[in-house]
Structure 1
Amino acid sequence: MRRLFPALLIAVFLLVGGLASPAGAHPMSTSAVLLDLLGDRVEGEVQLPIDRLAVAVHRDLTPGSVLGADRAFLERYTARHIAAVGADGAGWTVTLGTGSVRTIDGTAHLVYPLTVRPPHGQDVTDFRLRYDVIVEELLTHRVLVTVRHDFDRGILGAGDAETLGVVDWDTTSVEVPAAEGSWLRGFAATAGLGIEHVGEGADHLLFLLMLLVPAPLVAAGGRWRAATGPSARRSVLRVVHVVSAFALGHSLTLALASAGVIHLPSRPVETLIALSIAVSAAHAIRPLVARGEVLIACGFGLVHGLAFASLVGELGLDRGSLVTSLLGFNLGIELTQLLVVALLMPSLLLLARTACYPAFRVGTAVVGLLFSVSWLLERTTLTGSDPFEGLQLWLVGHPLLVAGAVAALAGIARLVAPRPLQAVSQAT
């Protein structure tokens, strides 16, 4: 008996290990409920793994049958097991849309669009979501309930998504907070989104830089000349004109595109943005037209506004928060632009008074031209990748280092070559 006991113990260990290994390698599928809080309603979707759903309803389900023979049955079954109740105990209307099959984390899911509405057209407030699809039959099943959009709480996308809780056999409801935020919180979130979008967008930043480089100069005789005398102070005013023109252009199309008045596919817009950088870089090398940087800033600002609008459109905002989000997003863009101007323009104005500025201007413009041509080729699918992407990401990721390098260059140039090669008055 003593010899038999260790053998039995080893056998049990191997049996348990053999049973446990497959479970560890193939974790059980989970369901998900994704919610978007939109003022007078809640939209979202329910994601049901078909393999778990088949066990719960005692049917042999396939990706084909859930949209065919079993479609009506599964719609009724799912609808019966979802409910929403307000803080006052009143029931809310829950509606499921047409189901579809989607592969999520390698598993086929039946996905239903979901709409929840408070009674009498009221605004969405705190409510309790009652849910026991699948879990009413499977004790081990789990359902993740996540808010992926709530403007008033600053939840604007996947990066901000908040998991409210886990529904299982023991816990079949979860509280959904919808009255904790404010328009100010959403405004701040969209402003931060605008700062992030421009701050990480190499193309937008490069376009602005190409416009700023010739701003301290004067176009005379088809060439750029340094401005001298008291009139050189007007360079600052020209910078204001450039930034204002760009802001006017992108603000106009951002508002129109976000309101659905105009729409262009993303690829042509991105291609035109690359073209805008090429044009502004060519203008920085040799003036295309007097005060051309202002015209370029305004004209191509319209194109950049369409790109900004595509990001706002991805937020799925309703009419109630659209105006606030546009104001916040635009504020973030303008703050980032002003920061770029504050970091670079003092150095550019100082450098423009030295003999080194022509070489710096042309060299910077050539780099901008190379980047823009590379983007043009990639965005028109003539090439499969951008060979300068690594350098672009590094430059965007180290703005203070770049600004410091330009400032150091300006300081050195001021000491060793304090006079410009050629200069004319801006009054010319």
Structure 2
Amino acid sequence: MKAVALALLLFPLAALAHKPSDSYLHLDRSGTGFTGRWDVALRDLEEVLVLDADGNGAITWGEVRARQADVAGYALARLKLSSDGAACPLTSAAALRVVRHSDGAYAVVDFTAACAAVPRTLDVDYALLFDRDPQHRGIVRVGSDGAGEPLVLSATRHTARVSLEGLSPWRRFGQMVHSGIEHIWAGVDHLLFLLALLLPSVLQRDRETGRLVPVADFGAAVRDVVKVVSAFTLAHSLTLSAAALGWVSLPSRWVESAIAASVIVAALNNVFPWMDRTRWLAAFALGLLHGFGFASVLADLELPAGSLAVTLFGFNVGVELGQLACVAVFLPVAYLLRATPVYRRALLVGGSMVIALVACAWFAERAFGVGVSFI
């Protein structure tokens, strides 16, 4: 019954199977105002506007074109720009277009923002989709001269002030640390993979009976966690760097599907152990896949080459800080519960099975595609 209750709690995570909901907002200086391009996923617009008029599971260009005024109106009503304390009203500037990103079709809303005077700072207040999806992110770039400021706005950080006189390396580093922390905490697949690897850390297998018994002291659990987390960190840092530098490129669908498969493997290993003393090797091997997933976040930011080193380091630091915070919460609680049947049966076995079940749903969606498509 405990395992069933845990399943009911975790099953809604299957809804997070696809790539996190993002939109891409580009703002360029133009006279005393700005020109803007806003790419919003059709799958997200379908949730709020029901673009698929005939309900056949496929959104056609005709269906999008018939609702272009609604799409532009919905998006622009959820963005406020101001400069030096004065509002910069937004006006739709062109007919709607549709483009494809790595994760599907996006509607493109072109607009202008008219400011009262030549702007020196820009205040952005972003509110798209947060009422529907708290995990949604607005990836905003101001300027197209190679020094534009990348911003990642979220439900907890939906406003930002941008200096139009340049961005210092330290400020960019701080932004990317924050982005890395947000990504690891919002990336449910990465967190469940880490949890699956950590669950056995407070237990050890008795050599005579083969049964799992509690570790003798907290230090033994810490040493096991250090090995697993270090291997995962080293692996994803290698592939994150390689992908961000353009040395390796893999299709997004393949990477996201492989990440889901890695969660299944890590979870099932807790129930049917074939990598007991070498879990750190599994963490390294499967962590290589997760690095490509992290790299897709940086690719979405379209960062200028000159800031790549600072950006890469800052994002990696943020990811590690996010992981360490999760470990710091998990390990003491797991250690206290390690000798109880609740931990060994409900959490280790039952929890791992639920994690594997959720990851199977992710894999099915990512590998084979589920949901509304654009044709």
Question: Under a length normalisation based on structure 1, what TM-score does the superposition of the two structures give?
Answer: 0.51
Correspondence list, 1:118-129, <5 A: none
Aligned to 1:371: 358
Q: CA deviation at 1:34?
A: 2.7
Q: CA deviation at 1:382?
A: 5.9
Aligned to 1:268: 254
Confirm or deny: 8 A CA contact 2:227 2:280 kept in the other structure. Answer: yes
Alignment partner of 1:249 is 2:211: no
Inter-partner Cα distance in structure 2 for 1:46 and 1:248: 39
Gaps of 5+ in 1: 1-31, 37-43, 48-99, 112-125, 129-145, 165-175, 386-428
Confirm or deny: 8 A CA contact 2:202 2:215 kept in the other structure. Answer: no
Q: 1:317 aligns with which of 303, 308, 313?
A: 303
Correspondence list, 1:34-45, <5 A: 34-35=27-28
User: In percent, how many aligned pairs have the same letter?
Assistant: 36
Q: Please tell me the residue identity of whatever aligns with 1:103.
A: R
Q: CA deviation at 1:285?
A: 1.4
Confirm or deny: 8 A CA contact 1:155 1:161 kept in the other structure. Answer: no
CA gap of 1:223–1:209, structure 2 versus 1, over 3 A, is: farther
Inter-partner Cα distance in structure 2 for 1:288 and 1:215: 15
CA gap of 1:162–1:296, structure 2 versus 1, over 3 A, is: same
Q: CA deviation at 1:233?
A: 2.7
Q: Please tell me the residue identity of whatever aligns with 2:165.
A: A
Aligned to 2:46: none
Alignment partner of 1:103 is 2:83: no
Q: Please tell me the residue identity of whatever aligns with 1:35.
A: D
Counting matched residue pairs gives 251
Gaps of 5+ in 2: 1-24, 38-93, 99-105, 113-117, 121-140
Q: Please tell me the residue identity of whatever aligns with 1:272.
A: A
Alignment partner of 1:189 is 2:175: yes
Confirm or deny: 8 A CA contact 1:258 1:309 kept in the other structure. Answer: yes
SS at match of 1:311: helix
Inter-partner Cα distance in structure 1 for 2:107 and 2:257: 34
Correspondence list, 1:146-225, <5 A: 147=142, 155-157=150-152, 177-179=164-166, 181-220=167-206, 225=212
Q: 1:347 aligns with which of 318, 330, 333?
A: 333
CA gap of 1:258–1:355, structure 2 versus 1, over 3 A, is: same
Confirm or deny: 8 A CA contact 1:148 1:155 kept in the other structure. Answer: no
Inter-partner Cα distance in structure 1 for 2:36 and 2:225: 51
SS at match of 1:343: helix
Q: CA deviation at 1:177?
A: 2.3
Larger mean CA deviation between 278-287 and 259-268 belongs to: 278-287
Inter-partner Cα distance in structure 1 for 2:109 and 2:188: 38
Inter-partner Cα distance in structure 1 for 2:331 and 2:359: 22
Correspondence list, 1:78-117, <5 A: 103=97
SS at match of 2:151: coil
Alignment partner of 1:356 is 2:342: yes
Q: CA deviation at 1:252?
A: 0.3
CA gap of 1:46–1:356, structure 2 versus 1, over 3 A, is: closer
Q: Deviations over 1:205-226 (max 9, x none)?
A: 1000000101122245695512
Q: CA deviation at 1:307?
A: 0.6
Question: Under a length normalisation based on structure 2, what TM-score does the superposition of the two structures give?
Answer: 0.58
Q: CA deviation at 1:235?
A: 1.6
Confirm or deny: 8 A CA contact 1:151 1:183 kept in the other structure. Answer: no
Inter-partner Cα distance in structure 2 for 1:228 and 1:258: 40
Confirm or deny: 8 A CA contact 2:215 2:221 kept in the other structure. Answer: no
SS at match of 2:301: coil
Q: Deviations over 1:44-77 (max 9, x none)?
A: 9777xxxxxxxxxxxxxxxxxxxxxxxxxxxxxx
Confirm or deny: 8 A CA contact 1:148 1:157 kept in the other structure. Answer: no
Aligned to 1:301: 287
Inter-partner Cα distance in structure 1 for 2:326 and 2:244: 26
Q: CA deviation at 1:357?
A: 2.5
Aligned to 1:330: 316
Confirm or deny: 8 A CA contact 2:35 2:111 kept in the other structure. Answer: no
Inter-partner Cα distance in structure 2 for 1:368 and 1:302: 20
Q: Please tell me the residue identity of whatever aligns with 1:255.
A: S
Q: Please tell me the residue identity of whatever aligns with 1:361.
A: L
Q: CA deviation at 1:240?
A: 0.8
Q: CA deviation at 1:197?
A: 0.9
Larger mean CA deviation between 185-194 and 210-219 belongs to: 210-219
Confirm or deny: 8 A CA contact 1:213 1:361 kept in the other structure. Answer: yes
Q: CA deviation at 1:315?
A: 1.1
Structural RMSD (CA): 3.8
Q: CA deviation at 1:229?
A: 3.8
Aligned to 1:78: none
SS at match of 1:380: helix
Aligned to 1:285: 271
Correspondence list, 1:129-140, <5 A: none
